[in-house]
Each structure stands twice: as structure tokens, then as C-alpha cells.
Amino acid sequence: MDVIVESRDGPYLVALSDAALRTGLSLLLDVFVGADRRTLPVTVAESSPVIQAGLVRYRLRLATVGSCDEIDPDGLLVIETPVRVLDMSQNGFLLEAGRQSAAGTAGVLRVDVNGRAYEGEIRVARCSRLEGAAERHHLGAECLRTRRVPHGSPLRDAFCAMLKTA
């Protein structure tokens, strides 16, 4: 989820987000200091709706640990979301999650198969809420090839190999 850091207020960062977040939620905020990327642990202190350019967005007040004086105004909010793999194909996955993710959201999917961990970059293509399920969503996610890896995505390769043997 992308956020725009609007300002600093002592130990707090004020950011604008497309999604409301629960007060007390601990997150990692990837920020840039010059050309260097740093990860800051933050906790949501406040989340309130605002109207910007005719759209409902959310102003977040994020409590930081340590100094945030040198931070550039753009950041990337990293939220860990446990998912369950329901189905897979050569191009992507059907996942079940306890949190909604907007189409276009990119992330890293880490999957443990028989004690071995695989990871690959994905993008959410669609998200639908499950009827009758409390905060459960189906996510259609496609595999991305954003890193220059000599042998492709370990996650995608592992699942393609599993599909061939099934």
C-alpha cells in the first residue's frame, strides 16, 4: 500500500493513505533518505477519513521509534497479510486473506512447501469479499517478473514444477 508522508510532528509522521487502518496496528514503513531505502517501525496512532480531489482517503498519524528527521516525503507501507493458497496456475494464484487488497497492489508472496520456503513478487488482479464470511477475501494474484533473476522466480518455478507433476 502506498502512502504519502505529508509532514512530521515530533515523533509522529502524518501520512495519507487509500485505506483506513486500525489504531494500534504495528507496521513497517519503507522510506527514503536520499537514495537509501530504510524501514521504520510505526504504529497507527490515529486514522481519520478526509476528502481529497473528491475521493475518500485516510489521514494516518503514525508513531515512530527513533528519529525521522531526514525522511523524504514518499513512503511505502508494508503490511504483512497471512494468506492461504486456494489454487494456482502457471500465471498466478487464488488466495484467501483476512484483509482486502486493491487491484494493482504489489507484494511478495512467501509460501512454505514441505519445509522449504519460496517467494516471488505478485500483483493483485482482483479482490472479492466472501459472502457470509467475516472479513475474508479472495484475491486473484498474478506472478510478476520484476527482479532480474538468472533462473526466474523461485516461487513461480516451484509451483510450475508442482503443476507438471500433478
Highest mean pLDDT pick, 4-18, 20-34, 81-95: 81-95
Q: Is the pLDDT of residue 136 over 60?
A: yes
Provide the pLDDT for residue 36.
67
> DSSP state, 106?
E
Nearest to 76 by CA among 45, 107, 121: 107
Q: Is the pLDDT of residue 95 over 90?
A: yes
What is the mean pLDDT of the segment spanning 24-51?
81
Nearest to 160 by CA among 90, 88, 111, 113: 90
Highest mean pLDDT pick, 6-10, 125-129, 152-156: 125-129
Provide the pLDDT for residue 105.
80
- Torsion sign, CA atoms 30, 31, 37, 42: negative
Cα–Cα distance, 48 to 16 (Å, whole number) = 10
- Any idea where the domains of the chain sit in the sequence? 2-78, 83-165
Please give the class, per CATH, of domain 2-78: mainly beta
Provide the pLDDT for residue 61.
92
Helix (H) or strand (E) holding 16: strand 12-17
Q: Is 32 exposed, middle or buried (0-12, 13-18, 19+ CB in 10 A)?
A: middle
Q: What global pTM score does this model have?
A: 0.53
Q: What is the percent of the chain where pLDDT is above 90?
A: 14
pLDDT in tens, 60-85: 999 987 666 555 545 555 677 888 89
Calculate the average pLDDT of the chain: 78
Provide the pLDDT for residue 15.
86
